[in-house]
């Protein structure tokens, strides 16, 4: 019976892997998206588990596998657009935004100016300045952003974008292209106007990963079928597996 549980834990893991890869592929054109990376961990025992708020063990085996996810901080390209509201970060770094749930960090610079003159993200979250307040612009006037994040309208400085690097340790994805991390690091990148960070999903690599996960999953189903056949043979012979 052990082999069935081991194979089942592998199938659950590969299915989660496929979900992660599909999420990355789906976001291959989402500006500022950081791809999720999956890791398989050998799990000494208790491998078939029910996930969720209260994880519990459904079946035990001598060995198994668990699938975990993390965020890939690999740099992404900067693609120019013809929209002056689009901002990109050349190199590492994040914009600081205020959402309904608190502070978050993003590399998705698809900004716009709302009806009150605040610079907002495509989700409507406020883009913050170094003073911790939303960047407020005079309506109907174009603005320019310098490499260090200084926002000017005409000859007047109206604010400075809050920019930060984040420690890869503990960096977690909040969804909607937003990230959070327990530790801030000094900003080393450069802001580029009329450009967007592309998604850092490597399309060809993820396609290969998807085919890989698919064939591993199918190998495991073959294994389950083999084990099932072996068990029924053993049962006809009156031998306990």
Partner 1 sequence: MFSVLGIGSNGLTAQSDVLNAVAANIANANTPGYGRRETALASTGNTVVRPSGAKLLGQTLTAGLTLNAGAALVGNSPTFTNGIQPTNTESNLAIQGDGFFMVSTPNGIAFTRAGSFEIDSGGELVLPSGAKLYPPVTIPQGVQFSIAANGVVTIKGSNGPQVVGQVKLASIPNPAGLTAQGNNLYTLSANSGKPTVVKPGQGGTGTLASSAVNQSSTNLAQSLVNLVQAETAYNVNVKVISVDQQVIQSTTNLKV
Smallest distance, Å, CB 192 to partner 1? 17
Check residue 29 for interaction with partner 1 (CB under 8 A).
yes
Q: Assess contact for 189 and 161: CB atoms under 8 A.
A: no
Q: Which of 183, 221, 235, 241 binds partner 1 (CB under 8 A)?
A: 221
Q: In the numeric block, which tokens belong to residue 44?
A: 């000494």
What angle (nearest 5°) sits at the alpha carbon of residue 16, between those of residues 103 and 171?
25
155 contacts partner 1 (rule: CB under 8 A)? no
Figure out which of the listed residues 1, 62, 63, 68 binds partner 1, where binding follows CB under 8 A. Answer: 68
Q: Which of 31, 129, 134, 189 lies at the binding interface for partner 1 (CB under 8 A)?
A: 31
Site for partner 1 in 86-105 (CB under 8 A): none
CB 145 to partner 1: min, Å: 17
Window contacting partner 1 (CB under 8 A); options: 20-28, 92-100, 126-134, 156-164: 20-28
User: Which residues 6+ apart lie within 8 Å of 187 measured at CB?
Assistant: 93, 163, 164, 165
For residue 167, what are the contacts with CB-CB under 8 A and spacing of at least 6?
181, 182, 183, 184, 185
| Binding flag, residue 152, partner 1 (CB under 8 A) | no
Residue in 16, 164, 181, 197 binding partner 1, rule: CB under 8 A: 16
Regarding 83 and contact with partner 1 (CB under 8 A), the answer is: yes
Question: Does the footprint of partner 1 cover residue 30 (CB under 8 A)?
Answer: yes
* 25-to-105, 115, 201, 213 alpha-carbon distances in Å: 22, 34, 7, 14
Count CB-CB contacts under 10 A for residue 76: 22
Binding positions for partner 1, 36-65, rule CB under 8 A: 36, 39, 41, 43-46, 49, 51-53, 55, 57, 60
70 binds partner 1 (CB under 8 A): yes
Identify whether the C-beta of residue 65 lies closer than 8 Å to the C-beta of residue 213: no
* Angle formed by the axes of helices 203-236 and 2-26, nearest 10°: 160
């Amino acid at each position: 019976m052990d082999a069935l549980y081991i194979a089942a834990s592998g199938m659950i893991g590969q299915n989660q892997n496929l979900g992660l890869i599909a999420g990355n592929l789906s976001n291959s054109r989402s500006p500022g998206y950081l791809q999720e990376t999956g890791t398989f961990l050998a799990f000494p025992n208790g491998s078939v588990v029910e996930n969720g708020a209260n994880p519990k063990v459904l079946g035990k085996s001598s060995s198994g596998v668990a699938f975990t996810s993390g965020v890939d901080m690999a740099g992404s390209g900067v693609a120019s657009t013809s929209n002056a509201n689009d901002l990109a970060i050349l190199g590492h770094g994040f914009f600081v935004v205020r959402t309904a749930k608190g502070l978050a960090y993003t590399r998705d610079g698809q900004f716009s100016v709302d009806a009150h003159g605040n610079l907002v993200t495509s989700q409507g979250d406020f883009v913050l300045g170094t003073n911790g307040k939303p960047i407020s612009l005079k309506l109907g006037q174009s603005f320019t952003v310098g490499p260090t994040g200084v926002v000017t309208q005409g000859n007047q400085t109206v604010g400075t974008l809050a920019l930060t690097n984040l420690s890869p340790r503990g960096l977690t994805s909040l969804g909607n292209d937003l990230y959070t991390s327990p530790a801030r690091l000094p900003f080393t990148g450069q802001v580029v106007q009329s450009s967007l960070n592309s998604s850092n999903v490597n399309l060809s690599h993820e396609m290969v990963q998807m085919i890989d996960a698919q064939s591993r999953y199918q190998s495991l189903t073959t294994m389950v079928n083999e084990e099932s056949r072996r068990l029924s043979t053993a049962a006809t012979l009156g031998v306990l597996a």
